[in-house]
Structure 1
Amino acid sequence: MATKTNKTKKNAGRPLKRADMETLGQAAECLRILAHPVRIRMVQLLLHDRYTVGELAEDCGVLENVASEHLRLMQRCGFFTSEKEGRRVYYRVAEPHLENILDCIEGRFQAGASK
């Protein structure tokens, strides 16, 4: 069992939560699925509004069938949900924690892009 005796100032007041390996495995799988530029862009878009596959594909510069596959993978992790209106299917964010993850990504990598 790993222990850490010295606490960093940033995490000093934060309790260490124990997670079982199955839960950590599920988290790792969802993070692996998120780790693609097209999928991150889809999250950016869907955090602000709902979109169809065609709209997402056009913005991301991919074919609709490719966008559909990305969406399917992220729906499997519970990141997105879809709703049908007539012949159109709209996607939206279902996982509220995606906003925090994206804030972290944007804070780290968009700040670095301007250097």
Structure 2
Amino acid sequence: MQEAAECLRTLAHPHRLRIVEMLLDGSYTVGELAKACGIPSHMASEHLRLMRDKGFLELEKRGRRVYYYIIDSGLQNIMDCIQKRYAQEK
């Protein structure tokens, strides 16, 4: 249960939830994620670093760009649960 609590603590931020939601649909750069969240790139980078450190994400360099993508398949189930419960609040 400790690992589950750590996972949920890491995800417990609106910007990180939005980033995960986007990355479940494909890979994105820091700039693309920052723009979608309405935050500076350095803040998006910090959110991505935290989630990468927890093993949720990985990155891939394509030329001069770095793309992030989901590697933890369990995130889809967590997001499905969150969306079912809270989607009507949008």
Superposition TM-score, scaled by structure 1 size = 0.75
Displacement of 1:26: 2.5
Match of 2:49 in 1: 72
Displacement of 1:53: 0.2
Unaligned runs of 5+ in 1: 1-23
Tell me if 1:42 matches 2:8: no
Tell me if 1:106 matches 2:83: yes
Match of 1:5 in 2: none
Displacement of 1:87: 1.0
Q: Residue 64 of structure 2 aligns to which amino acid in structure 1?
A: R
Aligned-partner Cα distance in 2 for 1:81–1:31: 19
Aligned-partner Cα distance in 1 for 2:8–2:86: 17
Deviations 1:21-76 (A, max 9, x none): xxx22321121010000000001100001000000000000000000000000001
Aligned-partner Cα distance in 2 for 1:93–1:61: 21
Unaligned runs of 5+ in 2: none
Match of 2:3 in 1: 26
Match of 1:51 in 2: 28
Give the aligned length.
90
Q: Residue 36 of structure 1 aligns to which amino acid in structure 2?
A: H
Q: Which of structures 1 and 2 has the bigger CA Rg? A: 1
